[in-house]
Structure 1
Amino acid sequence: MRQLVKDGILYGIHWTGLMPVFRRLFAGRAVIVMFHEIQRDFRQELMTGTSVDLFQHSLEWLQRQGWHIVSLDQCLQALARNEPNSSRYAVVTFDDGYRDVRSVALPLLERNKTPFTVYVPTGAPTRAMKTWWLGLRELFRRENHVAIDPMEAAFDCPDFLSKRAGLKTATQWVHEDYRRASLLERTFHKYRISLSALNDAYFLDEQELQDLARHPLASIGAHTASHAALATLDSSSARAELEDNRKYLETLIELPVRHLAYPYGGARACGPREYHLAELAGFSTAVTTRKGHLGDGSLNRFALPRIGVGCHLEARMSFEANVNGVHEAGARLGAARL
């Protein structure tokens, strides 16, 4: 229901021609755009990433609207200069190190001469990561009846819509408490789902990551060792997740790794303690998944907001609205009411 209300508001803004007004009044000087998977077969993957069409549209739309797509370093340098009436900037980022960044997204990035950053956890190329989200997706894709005992829930899902709905419910259950992810191991074992095999199928291996790191448009960033929600760990363990991941990546690609993305990136996964740990670990920046724009004023470089490109049916309109500042306008209105 909430999504229907949001979509209705976006339709209204779009069809009344108010998007340029929102951009002029509420859009910041820069946006960091977040992707995960770029999926050739969007439906087969239960619409869990970004379709190729939407990815291509996003790059072209940003350029048509006057957003200069630059690297994260170039963006922050431009904002620091605080030049009046200067350009707006966009930064393209990918989380997790999926293989389709190289096989699907890269040709489009090259065509548009688009710099980009890929944030990679150690466990992706080493195949050790507990990718519960891939396990759940495979479970609902494969099975028409799914029982997840830790949830005390069973799903009858013989068709696409019911599979997608069941996956959304199970995923949300984990996001409510990230410690629940480990409880799914017995379910995966029962249904003979190998997370290691899924990692091998979906993530860049070490050689592919080394090759990508040498590409002139690419930058490699850190994403912790195990893709843990840092806020659920003690300080020593959380700092080790950051430092070990950075050391692994720098050894592998033989380049500095100065930028970080917090796994999950919301309030349940990272906060002021994690921002401080990222700085102590020697990173220059860290990005979250919290929506927002970057302005000319002082920035917390260890809590940078991003705008994700969603996977629901109205993702294109939602992306354009968020880049144009509709979310910022809503946040200001909510703050004013308080």
Structure 2
Amino acid sequence: MRRAFAGRAAILMLHEIQQDWRWELKTGASPDFLEYSLKWLRQEGWEIVSLDTCLEQLAADTQPHRYAVLTFDDGYRDNVATALPILERHNAPFTVYVPTGAVTRTLQPWWLGLRELFRLRDSIAIDGMAMRFSCRDFDEKASALEKVSNWVHEDYHRVEMLTPTFNKAGLSLESLNDTYFLNGAELQALARHPLASIGGHTESHPALAYLNEALARAEMADNRNYLEGLLQRPVRHVAFPYGNARACGPREQHLAVEAGFSTAVTTRHGQISDRKPNHFALPRIALGGPFDSRIAFEGRMNGVQSAVEMLLGRSN
């Protein structure tokens, strides 16, 4: 199983590294889980390298090395406050993909807004779903949040359908930016760290496939230009927001090339087996979330999940 389905490289996808995972409704990964994952990778013979090094070595290597790449989406403050000391202990390079709006405080992070509502209230009506959720404890809140989030991910037009719910609750999504995302000075400091690299994540974190070509192109190109101006260094990598087949495809890959990026990562599950994979449709393996566990992580890294999905005929 492991030989047949595990790849030569794996790009790991993280978001928040949460000190109080339960209070944050299990939406990220805990520091202990990150620490465990890095130790496990080393013990199992994975070399933790930068994305550039990984792709260069895959193309050149004849030896059976396995490479792990760490990526963090969105530019959360806890990537520095909580994750960075752990990454430093393990001398682990990493990339943080940052949308312009997170830095300029104009992002509309609906996923954080939903979490805020469920975390602070026991009864919530989601107008667009015509449903009311009554949650007695944190586990029920996490389950309800997962259900609503999945509903949005089925059709990203539904993001706009959440607006009445936020308005009735008096919740400004922009007000969450200061709490959760790195500001310009913090991002500049992170970019100078020898283990860190900064990648693009569009201007406003849209599902690019839902936009016309001109808007989708501008989302990527303007984000790259903004980050390069802020950081005074090249920004070569991009992560497609949401990253699944509904949110990005061949058109978005082409636009990433046009925007000057060298790679693009998706959220489609998988490892890299080819020496020369498509650099603009790179799969990743997710870490964290309400149903994550050490057994599940090891299964993903050993190829078990890929094998099961292949047997069931599933695709990302």
Same fold judged by TM-score > 0.5?
yes
Per-residue deviation at 1:187? 1.3
User: What is the letter of the counterpart of residue 67 of structure 1?
Assistant: W
User: Cα deviations across residues 310-338 of structure 1 (Å, max 9, x unaligned)?
Assistant: 323442211111111112323443469xx
- The equivalent residue for 1:13 is none
Report if aligned partners of 1:26, 1:328 keep a CA contact under 8 Å in 2. yes
Within-5 A mapping of 1:313-324: 313-324=291-302
1:53 is the counterpart of 2:32: yes
User: Cα deviations across residues 29-53 of structure 1 (Å, max 9, x unaligned)?
Assistant: 1100010000000000010100111
- The equivalent residue for 1:105 is 83
Structure 1: how far apart are the matches of 2:41 and 2:53?
17
- The equivalent residue for 2:6 is 27
- The equivalent residue for 1:255 is 233
- The equivalent residue for 2:164 is 186
One of 87, 96, 118 as aligned partner of 1:118: 96
What secondary structure is seen at the aligned counterpart in 2 of 1:289?
A: strand
Unaligned runs of 5+ residues in structure 1 are 1-21
Q: Work out the number of aligned pairs and report it.
A: 314
1:43 is the counterpart of 2:22: yes
CA 1:192–1:290: 2 relative to 1, 3 Å: same
Q: CA RMSD in A?
A: 1.4
Normalised by the length of structure 1, the TM-score is: 0.90
User: What is the letter of the counterpart of residue 38 of structure 2?
Assistant: L
- The equivalent residue for 1:151 is 129
Structure 2: how far apart are the matches of 1:293 and 1:223?
21
Report if aligned partners of 2:101, 2:204 keep a CA contact under 8 Å in 1. yes
1:135 is the counterpart of 2:122: no
Structure 2: how far apart are the matches of 1:162 and 1:295?
39
Structure 2: how far apart are the matches of 1:141 and 1:279?
40
Structure 1: how far apart are the matches of 2:151 and 2:309?
26
- The equivalent residue for 2:184 is 206
User: Cα deviations across residues 276-324 of structure 1 (Å, max 9, x unaligned)?
Assistant: 1111111100000011111234311000000001323442211111111
Structure 2: how far apart are the matches of 1:312 and 1:41?
13
Structure 2: how far apart are the matches of 1:219 and 1:63?
21
What secondary structure is seen at the aligned counterpart in 2 of 1:76?
A: helix
Structure 2: how far apart are the matches of 1:326 and 1:147?
38
One of 195, 211, 216 as aligned partner of 1:238: 216
Report if aligned partners of 1:82, 1:296 keep a CA contact under 8 Å in 2. no
Per-residue deviation at 1:162? 1.9
One of 24, 34, 45 as aligned partner of 1:66: 45
- The equivalent residue for 1:11 is none
Report if aligned partners of 2:25, 2:290 keep a CA contact under 8 Å in 1. no
What secondary structure is seen at the aligned counterpart in 1 of 2:103?
A: coil
Relative to structure 2, which stretch is displaced further, 131-140 or 153-162?
A: 153-162
- The equivalent residue for 1:169 is 147
Report if aligned partners of 1:45, 1:137 keep a CA contact under 8 Å in 2. yes
Structure 2: how far apart are the matches of 1:314 and 1:99?
22
- The equivalent residue for 1:88 is 66
What secondary structure is seen at the aligned counterpart in 2 of 1:306?
A: strand
Relative to structure 2, which stretch is displaced further, 235-244 or 160-169?
A: 160-169
Per-residue deviation at 1:189? 1.7
Relative to structure 2, which stretch is displaced further, 314-323 or 195-204?
A: 314-323
Report if aligned partners of 2:114, 2:145 keep a CA contact under 8 Å in 1. yes
What secondary structure is seen at the aligned counterpart in 1 of 2:164?
A: helix
Relative to structure 2, which stretch is displaced further, 155-164 or 29-38?
A: 155-164
Per-residue deviation at 1:244? 0.5
Structure 2: how far apart are the matches of 1:168 and 1:329?
25
Structure 2: how far apart are the matches of 1:164 and 1:74?
37
Unaligned runs of 5+ residues in structure 2 are none
Report if aligned partners of 2:30, 2:288 keep a CA contact under 8 Å in 1. no
User: What is the letter of the counterpart of residue 123 of structure 2?
Assistant: H
Report if aligned partners of 1:126, 1:205 keep a CA contact under 8 Å in 2. yes
User: What is the letter of the counterpart of residue 172 of structure 2?
Assistant: S
Structure 2: how far apart are the matches of 1:333 and 1:297?
25
Normalised by the length of structure 2, the TM-score is: 0.96
Percent of aligned pairs sharing the same letter: 59
Report if aligned partners of 1:146, 1:155 keep a CA contact under 8 Å in 2. yes
1:217 is the counterpart of 2:184: no
User: What is the letter of the counterpart of residue 48 of structure 2?
Assistant: I
One of 304, 308, 311 as aligned partner of 2:286: 308
Per-residue deviation at 1:23? 2.6
Structure 1: how far apart are the matches of 2:143 and 2:274?
41
